[in-house]
Amino acid sequence: MTRSVPLPLLAGGFAVAVLGGGALAAPPETLPAEPPEQAAQAAQAAQAETAPAVPRIIVTSQRREQALQEVPAAITAIDAGELARRQVGDIKALSANAPSLLISDTPVGKNNMIIGMRGIAPTSISSNNDPTVGIYVNGVYYARTAGANAALVDMDAVEVIRGPQGTLFGRNTIGGALNMTTRAPQPAFEGSVTAGVGNYRQRSLTGIVNVPLGDTTALRLVVDGLRHDGRGRSAALGEQLGDEDRRYVRASLRSRPLRDLLVDVTWDRFRSDAASQVWIVHFFDPAIAARALAPIAGYVQDGGYTSYAGFNPRNTTDVDNTTATVRWNAGPATVKSISAYRHLATVSGYDLDATPVFVNQLQRYAVGGHQFTQELQVYGSALDDRLDWIAGAYYFSEALRDSSLVTTPSGANMLGRLNEFDSDQTSASVFGQLTYAVLPRLRATAGARLVRDKREVDYHAPRYLVQTGAMLAGSAGCALAAAGLDAGGCRYVPAALHARYTPWTLGLDYRFDDGTLLYGKVSRGFRSGGFQPAGATTAFGYAPFDKEQVMSYEAGAKTELLQRRLRLNLAAYVAKYTDIQQITPQFPPGSTTTISAVVNAGDATIKGLELDAVLRLANLSLSAAIGLTDPAFDNGPFEGLPFVTTARTTVALGADYPLATPLGQLDLHADYNWRSKVAYFQPVNTNTLPFQPLSAGQIASNSQPPFGLLNAMVTLNLRGERTRVSLWGKNLAGKYYLARSNSFAIQGYNNQTPGDPRTFGINLEQRF
């Protein structure tokens, strides 16, 4: 099931040749001093120095550059300066800075994530179960959250786009999309070096250099590194837990060989090596647990950063990305090609019982493979600029191996259960969207995407003695044989899945004389169906699941008041969420014993309100981002139960104040981020039918009560802002909170991993 994957640079080169052919007579021109969006932001920044107005922000959420206040959608846009002040160093840190967004850890390391938006989040991290929120970097879709928590360094902007985005962004964006843009090469020489130290022996170093290569080409290099000691330790092993060593490098080349042709080629590499997270046993019920688990009771803790885990594997991530983007201004239209190749390899592990008692260990969990994407966009305006239009085609292919090895005691030996599958998938689509000015201030929008998916899987599930590598005899040596599916060699290849679906959007927006924008829209989005993870012992447990969909009804207002000192953006929505993919117990035909599998289990209605506000009072800037989410299951096995990995209320507050001093400007920043209770698991045992209520202690152990985190940064600008010294702190109040819990309801125990404790440090930046 292997497939040759074309190199993106070949595709990019082909696009250069084709697109450039019609403009060979045009002479080369120098690079623009700044991309249009950066020039606009620079102009607004200059204006802000003389007038207390909120700066304009340029976004690309509709696949073209537009002012944030002109886009009829719920978007939180964070520019480079705000990312630095809020200490958003990776994707996971975005969770505290936008309404209705929750990004949580997984048991297999911090570089894997569960991303939920507006109450819509996946229930499995298996590579056979796609995400609900799309990650896009420079227009390229990252299909897996595994390995995606890379450094956000030298960025132009990050956009958190809420609601289904399937028309323009494509597959698996039913909750929304994270749209990130890196800083492009500039025509002038510039650079910076930033070094930092902090508690837990944190050391960081970032270097950026931009080098013009003649009048039409420039190169930009970024190197970033971070190390820190463990946030906790294993008392059983005497080792640190949660230490990290991550490195990131990026090289970007921009060239304008012809007047109307712009070529960007970017390569980046992310490497991370970390110890296991701090996992502690937080709950144990001897009335449920088997006698063999009784020793776990001696390690129950109410919290803390000391674990008794007897297994501390290294968690490593290796990711490489190459992207070639070609833009050709063909007069009445712009043609854009985006070709990209991504290689991913992650290896992790986890002591499932978090004690020195050998019960269960996820000895190794690995995801590795590659993806290739090719997108072609054509967009422009017509009818005296009354009509904005975009059309395009998209191709995606991915080949992955997802492998987990769980070990359990077997007498004097160790039994290994390998659950592994190779997954190949392709997706092809065409899309288009029109926005027409029906009246001078009234616009109508309509768009759709036609999607065709294909998915194949090859299962492998042997059972063997780890010490000798010998497979167990008979059907005991192969979970597939026990299910009657072994086609030889303990392998099973089911029929390929084919799917067709059509995301679409319809909307109206009206702009008043004062610039206020009112909008309403209806959007339909889909998440792909898929295959089960390996490991079931019945054929029923390998049944594939179907796609799920969301029908979203949204209304919003965007306005700037008080002579543009106040920006106020509001959105309200109702989403009908149907055929939800849930891990649910099932009775196989003829059996009285349940198995758990991903199935399309019921429907839900999600209602919500969101607010983004910025207020400038002389030099003081205040910001607020608030999300209210009210999800409820309408039917199915989870009716009456809460949504998991969802906060009903999220609040992000920020304040900035510059002070003039004899040494230079002193920038003061503080932000406070609060969210309501989050349940990581249901308050019932979902391994049985009917569901059985959990005890009060177990329910509490599975949940994080409401909490808030206070962060701050103080920056002194010296030598005309060429030198900066910053003191920073995160979680300054030292709040203890959960990053994730894990429930073993049927075994009678839970474990938890805490979020980061108080951290602080100092950075020195020198620009040149």
Strand arrangement of the beta sheet that strand 133-137 belongs to: 75-79, 155-162, 176-182, 133-137, 140-142
Question: Is residue 1 assigned to a domain?
Answer: no
The structure tokens listed for 408 are: 């359990």
Give the structural domain span for 285. Answer: 8-767
Count Cβ atoms within 10 A of the Cβ of residue 51 and give its class: 0-12 exposed, 13-18 middle, 19 or more buried: exposed
Which pLDDT tens digit goes with each residue over 209-267? Answer: 999 999 999 999 999 999 999 999 999 999 999 999 999 999 999 999 999 999 999 99
Q: pLDDT by residue (tens digit) across 471-529?
A: 898 888 998 988 889 888 899 999 999 999 999 999 999 999 999 999 999 999 999 99
Residue 637: other Cβ atoms inside 10 A: 20
* pLDDT for 22 beyond 90: no
C-alpha of 135 from chain center: 5
- Kind plus residue range of the DSSP H or E element containing 41: helix 36-48
Produce one character per residue of 476-490: b if its CB has 16 or more CB atoms within 10 Å, e if not. Answer: ebbbbbbbebbeeeb
The owner of tokens 């099932």 is 586
Three-state secondary structure call for residue 10: helix
pLDDT tens-digit series, residues 304-333: 999 999 999 999 999 999 999 999 999 899
- The total of structural domains in the chain comes to 1
Q: Which amino acid is present at 593? A: T
For residue 704, which of 617, 646, 620, 626 has the smallest C-alpha distance? Answer: 646
d(CA 178, CA 133) in angstroms, rounded, equals 7
Q: Which two tokens stand for residue 713?
A: 């940064």
Quick check: 40 pLDDT over 90? no
- Domain CATH code at residue 238: 2.40.170.20
Domain presence at residue 2 = no
Residue 522, Cβ neighbours under 10 Å: how many? 14
Name residues whose C-beta falls within 8 Å of residue 583's C-beta, 6 or more positions apart in sequence.
123, 124, 596, 597, 598, 686
- DSSP string covering 627-681: EEEEEEE-SSTTTTSPPSS--SEEEEEEEEEEEEETTEEEEEEEEEEEE--EESS
Question: What band does 14 get if pLDDT is binned at 50, 70 and 90?
Answer: very low
Rounded to whole angstroms, how far apart are CA atoms 113 and 245? 18
| Average pLDDT score over residue span 671-684 | 95
CB atoms closer than 10 angstroms to residue 599: 21
Query: Is the pLDDT at 278 greater than 90, yes or no?
Result: yes
Classify residue 702 by its DSSP letter: T
- Residues 547 and 528: beta-carbon distance below 8 Å: yes
Percent of residues, the chain, with pLDDT higher than 70? 93
Cα separation of the two ends of the chain:
51
Residue 487 falls inside a structural domain: yes
Q: Record the tokens describing residue 326, joined without a space.
A: 């070609």
Least confident of 34-38, 91-95, 623-627, 690-694: 34-38
Q: Which residues of 707-745 are buried (b: 16+ CB within 10 A; e: fewer)?
A: bbbbbbbbbbbeeeeeebbbebbbbbeeeebbbbbbbbb
pLDDT of residue 33: 56
Burial class (CB in 10 A: 0-12, 13-18, 19+), 82: buried
The H or E element that residue 19 is part of is helix 8-20
DSSP 220-275: EEEEEEEEE--SEEETTTTEEES-EEEEEEEEEEEEEEETTEEEEEEEEEEEEEEP
Give residue 537's pLDDT band: very low, low, confident or very high (50, 70, 90).
confident
The yes-or-no verdict on residue 92 having pLDDT over 60 is yes
- CA–CA separation, 582 and 585 (whole Å): 10
Residue 465 is classified by DSSP as: E
In this structure, the dihedral spanned by the alpha carbons of residues 632, 636, 637 and 639, taken in order and rounded to 10 degrees, is 30
For the chain, the average pLDDT equals: 90
341 Cβ contact list (under 8 Å, min separation 6): 5, 7, 8, 321, 322, 370, 371, 372
Query: How much is the pTM?
Result: 0.91
DSSP letter, residue 90: B
Angle (CA) 455 179 712, round 5°:
130
